[in-house]
Structure 1
Amino acid sequence: MSRTRRQFLTAAGAGGAALLAGCQADPVDDGSDTPDGGAEPTGTTTGTGTPGTADTLVVAAYPPFVDAPSTSPGAWLKRKFEEEFDATLVYQTPESELNYYLERAIQGVDFEADVYVGLDTGQLIDADNRRGEGKFTDPLFAEAGDLEGLDRVRDGLMFDPQDRAVPFDTGYISLVWNATMDGGDFVAPETFEGLTESEYEGDLIVQNPTTTATGEAFMLHTIKQFGPEGYLDYWDRLRDNGVTVLGSWSDTYSAYENEEAPMVVSYSTDQVYAAAEDKDLQKHQIRFLNDQGYANPEGMARFADSDAPRLAREFMAFMLRPEIQAGIAQRNVAFPAIDDAPLPEDYSQYAKEPPEPVTFTYDELQGNREEWTDQWARRFAGG
């Protein structure tokens, strides 16, 4: 599945918005192509060093973590880590992200990565499900163990019941809305129900839940609100009210910035991006529907077959240090995973936290997430 949460600063122009009206949503590369058994990951390998040696750490990450055109934490982290540790950090950024390593595990082909950065609950469930189906036998990830700094992680962010994935940042799904539209009279609704009112007809752009992390999170939030038996009826009402569904986060955000609609599903750190780009903050207002924001923590985990397990653990502990947490949050447009990261005073002015964070746990999603997504697709993305 494509993880578009990380494309925050890489939005490209959207050619136009496709209304969700019972036809197939725009296709998006979901990273599901099976790589050749001996192929290198399609994407970028950054850094010098010899993978497989004790003084080289290979970190796998989603591409924008390393090479987003505006800002990303990858290069900064590499420099900071190498300054302190007698080691070389090499990045791998396959376009298919975690799926690249899953396919190699299924094929029984070795890979060189030691740590994966950017793991979320859904990806972890996908990996565990494939192993549970007998697609591969050995564990993909190792337990974090007694990791220095683990006790700093904020309550409620730990999402792996088997203690493999450790959160390093989090985001909250919200509405972003443009207060300058309708002659400056536009005000976003405060509730989910408000989105279905006729005065907001055609005013909302969302991402396809089957192809994007943000779209999936918004769908899961509607399930939190209306239950598994009622969320599809709610989406029926959104459709009747002219909601626009596009296949990627970048397409939706570009359509929003082009003022094709006054509201878009995005992240509550949107004003961090807007302020950094010197944009009009009136066009980047935040709304937490029902005073809630759906939490999407990102985690890191050590691959079980890592050739540098000691260095991998040192890197994970390094990622949890307060000053590193602050640097990651600012460069990744997110919230730290710990409470005492020394962020600039104005960061909280722009990064908005919901009055009530909500999310589904691993156990709640296991066995349900795929069914809920399939139900949505059958109802709304059928031919």
Structure 2
Amino acid sequence: MRLWALALAGVVALAVAAGCGEGGEATPSEVVLVTHDSFAISAAVKDAFERESGLTLRVLQGGDANETVNRALLTAGDPQGDVLFGVDDNLLSRALAGELFDEYASPEVGAVAEGFEPSDERVTPIDHGEVCLNVDRGWFTARDVPPPTSLDDLVDPRYRGLLVVENAATSSPGLAFLFSTVDRYGDPGWEDYWRELRANDVLVVDGWEEAYTQQFSGAAGSPGKRPIVVSYATSPAAEVIFAGQPLDESPTAAVEDGCFRQVEYAGVLRGARNPEGARTLIDFMLSERFQADVPGSMFVYPVRADVPLPAEFERHAIVPAAPASFPPDVIAANRDGWIDRWTEIVLR
């Protein structure tokens, strides 16, 4: 009997050491965040989450937002992680239709700024960014040419061969810029606008990285020759932060006209191995500590109302007063058709 009791005690001890919970199931010691390549978190904030939650945060990154959502849809119900972050308005309808998420309403949602409240209990807003035209100040100053200030300007012959955009079929900012032109010129008026852009020698590349760091002349270290690019409202602040020397003025500027707002969401993946940890992580991503880290880490704006912005954002970035946006159901009903027609007009 004594040997049996000792053996049983050993089994219990091993179970406790392994983190077994009720029913003999192992209690997860980590939470896995599935996200895009642009996700970033400072070491101090990551350490704070792990210390406060008792969980190890593992981050799985894979391509841009579009690729990340596509992969998640292929494993819906049996996901690679516990939380998906980075699905934006452009992709939200696909993620919801694919039943990627379980419902979860974070208690931190009450601190979200007006206009960013979640419209579906399966996702939680985390940040927002505005896709805007960016210009190379020095290029235009050197040639005594005024930079464009509107979407209309881009079809003017004096800006011929100066614009680089991302492919609307493969890039999130490229798709947002397409949506901005649909919002401005209507459907099908936007088609004529893109025909004019094509006639004015617009350059289309696959994604933001190529457009901004290789083709845009205003990016630090870029060999590019095009002084107008589709990027973000915060890109000028990033140029100052990464300049390596103090700058009174950013070498680039965002154009407020024609900006399109994107909100990024997080959700508990259906079938998550650690749903409790997933909810804890989403709560943390809406906390003041994480939200204050968002601008400096990912160069987007926090959705929480009470979070101050870095000085570089205050001085060099813009928050467009009236950016274009579409409800997810409008995007769901029209996205594929708009992309197909855009591709036919611009790429063929």
TM range (shorter): 0.7 to 0.9
Partner of 1:97: 68
The one-character-per-residue Cα deviations of 1:241-261 (angstroms, maximum 9, x if unpaired) are 121111111111121133411
Q: Quick one: percent identity of the two aligned structures?
A: 28
TM-score (norm 1): 0.76
**What's the counterpart of residue 241 of structure 2?**
276
Structure 2 counterpart of 1:342, from 294, 301, 308: 308
Partner-residue secondary structure (3-state), 2:104: coil
In the alignment, does 2:230 pair up with 1:256?
A: no
Task: Give the whole-Å Cα distance in 2 for the aligned partners of 1:212 and 1:320.
Answer: 26
Which residue pairs with 1:367 in the alignment? Answer: 333
Q: Is residue 170 of structure 1 aligned with residue 170 of structure 2?
A: no
Instruction: Tell me the secondary structure at the aligned position of residue 167 of structure 1.
Output: strand
Q: Which amino acid aligns with 2:199?
A: D
Q: Partners of 1:228 and 1:218 in 2: how far apart?
A: 15
Structure-2 separation of matches of 1:187 and 1:177:
10
In the superposition, relative to structure 1, how do residues 324 and 286 fare at CA in structure 2: closer, same or farther (>3 Å)? same
Contact 1:203 1:261 in 2 (8 A): yes
Does the Cα contact within 8 Å between 1:179 and 1:186 map onto a contact in 2?
no
Amino acid at match of 2:167: N
CA distance in 1, matches of 2:148, 2:100: 44
Q: 1:195 aligns with which of 145, 154, 162?
A: 154
Q: 1:265 to 1:94 in 2, by over 3 A?
A: closer
**For the structure 1 residues 338 and 184, does the alpha-carbon distance in structure 2 shift closer, same or farther, using more than 3 Å as the test?**
farther
| CA distance in structure 2 between the aligned counterparts of 1:121 and 1:294, rounded to whole angstroms | 11
Which of 139, 160, 164 is matched with 1:181 structurally?
Answer: 139
- Decide whether the 8 Å contact of 2:33 with 2:57 is kept in 1: yes
> C-alpha separation between the residues in 1 aligned to 2:291 and 2:193?
38
What secondary structure, in the 3-state scheme, does the structure 2 residue paired with 1:63 have?
coil
Note the C-alpha offset of 1:356: 1.1
3-state SS in 1 of match to 2:340: helix
Deviation at 1:73, TM superposition (A): 1.4
The CA distance in 1 between the partners of 2:224 and 2:303, in whole Å, is 33
Pick closer, same or farther for the CA change 1:80–1:185 going to 2, 3 Å: farther
Q: 1:119 pairs with 77, 84, 87, which one? A: 87
Supply the distance in 2 between the matched residues of 1:64 and 1:354 (Cα, whole angstroms).
Answer: 22
Over residues 53-90 of structure 1, what are the superposed CA-to-partner deviations in whole Å (9 max), with x where a residue is unaligned? 3332111111332xxxxxx3164543221121122212
| Contact 2:168/2:178 (<8 A) preserved | yes
Q: Does 1:56 align with 2:30?
A: yes
Structure 1 unaligned blocks of 5 or more: 1-48, 66-71, 132-138
Indicate how the Cα distance of structure 1 residues 372 and 76 shifts in structure 2: closer, same or farther if over 3 A, else same. farther
Check conservation: 1:53, 1:307, Cα contact below 8 A. Answer: no
1:229 aligns with 2:188: yes
Counterpart amino acid of residue 171 in structure 1:
G
User: Which residue number in structure 2 is paired with residue 306 of structure 1?
Assistant: 272
Is 1:149 the counterpart of 2:120? The answer is no
SS where residue 209 of structure 1 aligns? Answer: coil
Partner Cα separation in structure 2 for residue 173 and residue 311 of structure 1: 32
Structure 2 gaps, min length 5: 1-18, 218-222
CA distance in 1, matches of 2:228, 2:236: 14
Structure 2 match to 1:85: 53
Contact residue 58 and residue 90 of structure 1 kept, 8 A: yes
Report the CA distance shift for 1:256/1:310 in structure 2 as closer, same or farther (over 3 A): same
Q: What secondary structure does 1:366 align onto?
A: helix
Aligned residue runs from structure 1 range 324-343, under 5 A: 324-343=290-309
Measured on the aligned residues, the alpha-carbon RMSD in Å equals 2.3
Shift of 1:224: 0.2
Q: Could you say what secondary structure the match of 2:38 adopts?
A: helix
**Native 8 Å contact 1:179 1:187 kept in 2:** no
Measure, in 1, the Cα distance between the counterparts of 2:287 and 2:75. Answer: 32
Q: Which has the higher helix share?
A: 2
